[in-house]
Every structure is written in structure tokens, then in C-alpha cells.
Amino acid sequence: MANRAAVGAPGDQLQSSATLLSTKLFVPRSRQRLVSRPRLDALLDRNAALTLVSAPAGFGKSTVVVDWLRRRDVRVSWLSLERSDDEPRRFLQYLLAVWRRLVPHVGVSLEAALDEPGPFLGSTEQTAFVNEIGGLAEAIADQADDLVLVLDDYHAVEDSTIHRFVAAMVDALPPGIRLVITTRVDPPFPLARMRAFGRLEEVRAADLRFSADEASSFLSEAMGVELAEGQAEVLQERTEGWIVGLQLAAISLRGRLDVTGSREDSTHDFLRDFSGSHRFVLDYLTDEVLGRQDEATLDLLLRISMLDEICGQLADAVTGGQDGQDRLESLEAENLFLIPLDQDRRWYRFHHLFAECLRRYAEERLAERERHEIHRRAFEWLYEHDRPDAALDHALAADDAERARRLLRTYADATLHLGDVDAVSRWLVRVPPSWIAHDPPLALTRALVRFLLLDWSGLTDMEAELGRELEGPPHVGEEAGSVAGRKAMLGLLALWAVGDMERAAEAGRAAVQLLPEPEVLLRGTAVALLSAALVRRKDWPETERMLQLGRDLNRASQNRLALSTCYYNWSRLRIHQGRPEDALRIAREGLDEITRRTGGQLTTIGCLVALAEAEALLEL
């Protein structure tokens, strides 16, 4: 019986600071003519908390899982991972989205922590979420079928925090919920312990290799290539049951038969010449397949191979054509390794290994200037369609500093206003420092991000470096205020970090005065730090004014970290004034507001206000 996708429209997204791409939550379409492989079904049917499908590229890991799900009555939620997801906040946002397709409303506390501005410090919420998963047995008791969560291409993840979290989640999974992971590399989980306690089932390369019978069925039924007795077995031996090798071989054979018209001689010659390790087989067959395409198709393949995800409009943008969607559908029909990413078949990607081969071939066929022009065209389309991560990939590939800076100017501050410091940091780390060094606003943004991520080392040196970078023609208008205000704010950060409250207060006043009014997030952050400096200096009237301003600014920008800081400092002010009852009232007002803004949960950020409440109680 066919599986059912979990409840939820393909476009459902968490209301969080990062945009979630629905194509990553799409269960790939199962081919209608796949070969039945009952021995693999038996392995995947074994009931364990974690099923690990681990093998090198090209062994059909994802295909096997999709085909198994198609024949099973389960509810499934799927997440396709890629390199940009190797960051805890981003990974957990996607993981929470796929969990909610299985169990709606799970993880409210974790969602609130993920929406907090500043560095992601939600270890408490992660633990609470794992415990919540462990307690789902009763919530799913009335389910008639199993729930399956699939993490596809998990080898894209290297972050140790993510690995620890997923391993803990596996330990907590109750009966009736299974996690399936496909990967090229074993994750650093305690696999031996999981095996010993019956929490792990494994499907390895030896399991995924096609047998002679399966290879024969695959070639004839799925690929439409009829071989004489024993020839499929020869091909299976030469490819060692490697499905991509078999598929490439079948495409090459079909092209050879179309040209020669002599089935027996052509197949005999092909099998005689076909040999080598996986890598050499791939190189040989790629030449055979690509060499038999007409020039128009080959040119299209080479140009769109530089795109990680492809739609008709994006294909037209990089090729200058007008029939991109039709041509993508034709490539898919030709079994040229184009995989649909959504139900409407608008977005596609190439099989990763085939894409790598196409790109190597493109380096030989296309001049560097042509490749750079393709990347620039891709950048412009992705930039206009609000896909900054992918657009930045192409700016870097084109070695185009100006386009990278344009993207950062457009998206960095806007993303900081949403509180997603990690995303901006990820962009800035990837861009060569020399591209930013002589762009003062971006240099200031880079320094600010480092401070917000608690990287306080070298702040004084950074401030001096920024001073040198700002030498030259003066800025004018609003940009001048923004640059001067940010420089003053960085002075505030550097002085505040070393405890020089006198000079920090002066720098804070300058930052608040110079930053333009639209810079709500930065002004609110500056006021929060200024109020902390003023409390320490016991400058009560000015502190009171700054705290009121900070509350208003940080409410407007929804900067809960700075808002919590303001409430904490306000409570501390009342304690210094000898008014512990008022201090307690303010702390509890702040605690109520922060808790309300985080969905009724006390997150890591809210703990600062809880500390203010505790300090006030001690003074009573």
C-alpha cells in the first residue's frame, strides 16, 4: 500500500527568522518502473529507532528508501540536506518543520529559542525538545501506522552540535516513530551502543549492489535495454552492481544501438571494452553519454550543470533561451539524471555525481569567461528572486566581488533585523576578507556580527582597523550617519567589553545620536548596552530615559535579547535606588512580556529577567 505524506502543504513554513525552502521538504517522486528488491525491503522493514542507509555516491540510497516508502502504509516527512544546513540554528529550523508534518505543534519552546536574535544558545530548549519527542508515545497511540522521518544526504552535516542532538533524539524516539538517514559517510553517533541495544538497523553498499537478476530486470524494465543471456551478468560484474554505472551503461548502449543498428556486434564490443574501477567507469561513460548528445542539448547540460537547483526560468536566464521548462522536462524524460524537487515538477536538480562530471566537462568545453558569465547570470536571477545563499555561491564562483558586496548590502542588515546573526556570519565567513576590507559599512557589519556571536577577542584592534578603513572621501547623507553611528557603537562594544564604563557611556550616547532612526535594531542594541554602562555609573536620570527608549526600540524591532537586557538593568536600577519592591515588579513585568513573546515558554534569553527577579527577592 502506498505511503502517505505527512499532513501539511508543501509550502508550509515555520514563522522564523530564516526562510525555509519547501523543495527541501519534498519526498522525491518514485519511478513507476523500479525493480522490486524484496531483500532490501526486508532490511528496511526491521523495526529500529534508526535505519542508517550508508554507501558511497551513486548506490541509489535515496531511491531505495523512496521505493520502500511507496510500498508501505506509513506517514513520512522528508528533509533533503545540503552544505548550507550545516549550522545548528538552520538545521533545527528545518528539523522542526519536518517534525511538525508528523506531529503538529511539537517544539514550541525550541521554536521560540530559534527565533531569538543573537547567537543560538538554546541547549536547554534542545534538551526539552528531545524529552518532548521521547514523550510522544501517548500522543501517537491512536495512529494506525508508523511515522517515518527521513534525513536525506546527512553527509552534508559536519557540525558536532548537530550530531550530538540527532544522536540524543534517536535515543529518545518512542515505538512507532522511526528515523531513516541516508549518507555517504557514517555519522559520528555511538553506533556500537545503538547496535547492542537494538536501536540501529543498517543498509550498506554490499546490500545496495544489484544482483545479476536485479541488474537484468533494471536494464530491461527501467532502462529499456534488452541484452542476450549472460550479458547483463557481465555488466553487473563490471559495475559491481553499482546502479549509476548500470544506468550510464544503459544510456550509452541505447545511443550505440541507435547509431549502429547492429545489436549483437555493438553490445559485444561495448561489453568487451567496458572495464575499470568506479571512478574510471564513470569518466568513460560520461564521455560516452555526453559525446552522443547533439550540440544544443550538450550546451544546455553544461550550462545548467552549474546550478544546484534548476527551474525553467533560471535555465532561460543562464542560457538566454525561452523554453527552459520544456527542455528540462525533456531531459527528465531522457533519464539524464534530472530529479524533480516538487510535485509540480518546476524545480529540478541533477544527480550530484553526474553534475560533478558535467562540470568537469564544462571546464574543458567552455572558456573561463563563459563560465563566469553563466554564474553572473545565475546570480542576477537568484538575487532578484530572494535566494541569497544560492546567489552568493555564484558570485563567489564568478570571482565577482562587486556582486557579493551588493548582495551583502541588500541582505545582511535586513537579516540582522530579523535576528538571524548566524546566517549573516555564514555569508561573511565565505567572502574573502579583501572584498570587504575597503567597504566601511560591510566592515562594520562584520565586526558587529562577531560581537553578537560573543567573539569579543580583538575588539579594540577591530575598532582601530575600522578607523583606518574609514579614511578617505567622507560619506554623505544618511550613509554618513549610519557609518559614524556604527563606528561609535563598535567603540561602545570594545569599551564595554573591557569594563571602561566612563568612555563606554560616551560612545553609547554618540551611537544613539548618530544612528539613523530606521536603524531600529542597532539603536535598540546600543541603548541596551548604554543603559548597562549608566547603571554601573549610577547616573539615574539618564539611565531612566535610556531604559524607556530601549524598551520602545526593542519592542519595535522584536529584539528580545536587548529587551531582556533593558528589563534587567531597570530592575537593577531600582535596587540601587533602594526600592526592591519596584525592582521585583519591573522584573516580573519583563518576565511576563518575554515569556509572552516566546510563546509561553521561558527561553535562554528570558533567564536574564528571571535572574533580575531573583536578585530583587534577595533584597526584600
Identify the pLDDT of residue 467.
62
- pLDDT exceeds 90 at position 94: yes
Grid cell listed for 478 = 544618511
- pLDDT exceeds 90 at position 207: yes
- pLDDT exceeds 80 at position 473: no
Grid cell listed for 409 = 548590502
Identify the pLDDT of residue 383.
97
List the single range of 50-54, 145-149, 307-311 with lowest mean pLDDT.
145-149
Give the Å distances, CA to CA, from 17 to 94, 118, 256. 12, 11, 53
Share of the chain above pLDDT 70, in %: 84
Confidence of residue 188 (pLDDT cuts 50, 70, 90): very high
Query: Amino acid letter at 408?
Result: L
Confidence of residue 474 (pLDDT cuts 50, 70, 90): low
Confidence of residue 579 (pLDDT cuts 50, 70, 90): very high
Q: Which of 285, 255, 260, 215 is nearest to 60 (CA)?
A: 215
pTM (whole model) above 0.85: no
CA dist., res. 545 & res. 534, Å (int): 11
Identify the pLDDT of residue 373.
97
List the single range of 171-175, 281-285, 479-483, 529-533 with lowest mean pLDDT.
281-285
Q: Which of 252, 254, 348 is nearest to 305 (CA)?
A: 348
Grid cell listed for 556 = 519595535
Identify the pLDDT of residue 72.
86
Identify the pLDDT of residue 246.
84
Identify the pLDDT of residue 309.
94
Query: Is 333 exposed, middle or buried, given 0-12, 13-18 or 19+ CB atoms closer than 10 A?
Result: exposed
pLDDT digit string (tens) for 327-376? 999 888 777 878 888 878 899 998 877 888 888 888 888 999 999 999 99
Helix, strand, or coil here: 350?
strand
List the single range of 8-17, 23-32, 176-185, 386-395 with lowest mean pLDDT.
8-17
pLDDT digit string (tens) for 148-187? 999 999 999 999 999 999 999 999 999 889 999 999 889 9
DSSP string, 46-61: S--SEEEEE--TTS-H
Ramachandran angles phi, psi of 507, nearest 5°: -65, -35
Give the Å distances, CA to CA, from 597 to 45, 198, 416. 43, 42, 18
Identify the pLDDT of residue 199.
95
Helix, strand, or coil here: 48?
coil
Confidence of residue 464 (pLDDT cuts 50, 70, 90): low
Confidence of residue 10 (pLDDT cuts 50, 70, 90): very low
Tell me the average pLDDT of the chain. Answer: 83
Its sign, for the CA torsion 550, 555, 556, 560, is: positive
Confidence of residue 419 (pLDDT cuts 50, 70, 90): low
Identify the pLDDT of residue 370.
96
Grid cell listed for 218 = 533494471
Strand partners, 78: 150
Identify the pLDDT of residue 201.
96
Identify the pLDDT of residue 276.
38
- pLDDT exceeds 90 at position 122: no
Average pLDDT over residues 27-41: 79
Identify the pLDDT of residue 15.
41
pLDDT digit string (tens) for 219-263? 888 788 888 778 888 888 877 787 878 887 787 777 665 544 445
**Cα 598 to chain centroid, rounded:** 23
Average pLDDT over residues 41-52: 93
**Can you tell me which residue has the cell 560619506?**
475
**Can you tell me which residue has the cell 518502473?**
33
pLDDT digit string (tens) for 589-601? 988 888 887 666 6
- pLDDT exceeds 50 at position 442: yes
